[in-house]
């Protein structure tokens, strides 16, 4: 069974631009969560989607948004990029019957210049 896939793997953007990252969960998984990983702040929860509904949201500004499609694939969007948004963005999926076990993708490395 294929793991969590994220595209693109690397991205370079300029301040003020917006970016969309994509995540395809493991087949059969309906919960998708997003995390931001930086050297200074570590791993921080962004939001979680289950059955196309946002179930939880972390403490991030409204520039960070996401959505989930009927096939459980998810996207996150960051508008008006700032230098501090440079990070590894990780997506994790879990099976609705075993919500404890979250499996992470390889991440998208976003660099904002």
Partner 1 sequence: QQQVKQSPQSLIVQKGGISIINCAYENTAFDYFPWYQQFPGKGPALLIAIRPDVSEKKEGRFTISFNKSAKQFSLHIMDSQPGDSATYFCAARGMAGNMLTFGGGTRLMVKP
Binding site for partner 1 (CB under 8 A): 4, 31, 33, 35, 42-45, 48, 50, 55-56, 58, 90, 92, 94, 99-107
User: Minimum Å distance from CB 51 to partner 1?
Assistant: 12
| Closest distance of CB 64 from partner 1, Å | 15
Identity of the residue, 9 or 15, whose beta carbon is nearer to partner 1 in the bound complex: 9
Q: What are phi and psi of 84, to 5 degrees?
A: -70, -5
Q: How far is the CB of 16 from partner 1 (least distance, A)?
A: 28
Nearer to partner 1, 84 or 106 (CB): 106
Nearer to partner 1, 45 or 79 (CB): 45
Nearest to 41 by CA among 78, 85, 77: 85
Gap between the Cα atoms of 16 and 24, Å rounded: 27
Three-state SS string over 28-84 comes to CCCEEEEEEEECCCEEEEEEEEECCEEEEECCCCCCEEEEECCCCCEEEEECCCCHH
Residue 96 per-residue DSSP state: T
Q: Which residue number, 50 or 79, has a Cβ lying nearer to partner 1? A: 50
């Amino acid at each position: 069974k294929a793991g969590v896939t994220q595209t693109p793997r690397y991205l370079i953007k300029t301040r003020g631009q917006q970016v969309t990252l994509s995540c395809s969960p493991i087949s059969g998984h309906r919960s998708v969560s997003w995390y931001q990983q930086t050297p200074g702040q570590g791993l921080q929860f962004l939001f979680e989607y289950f059955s196309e509904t946002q179930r939880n949201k972390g403490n991030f500004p409204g520039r960070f948004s996401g959505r989930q499609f009927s096939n459980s694939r998810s996207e996150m969007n960051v508008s008006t990029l700032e230098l501090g948004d440079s990070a590894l963005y990780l997506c994790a999926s879990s099976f609705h019957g075993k919500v404890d076990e979250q499996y992470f993708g390889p991440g998208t490395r976003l660099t904002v210049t």
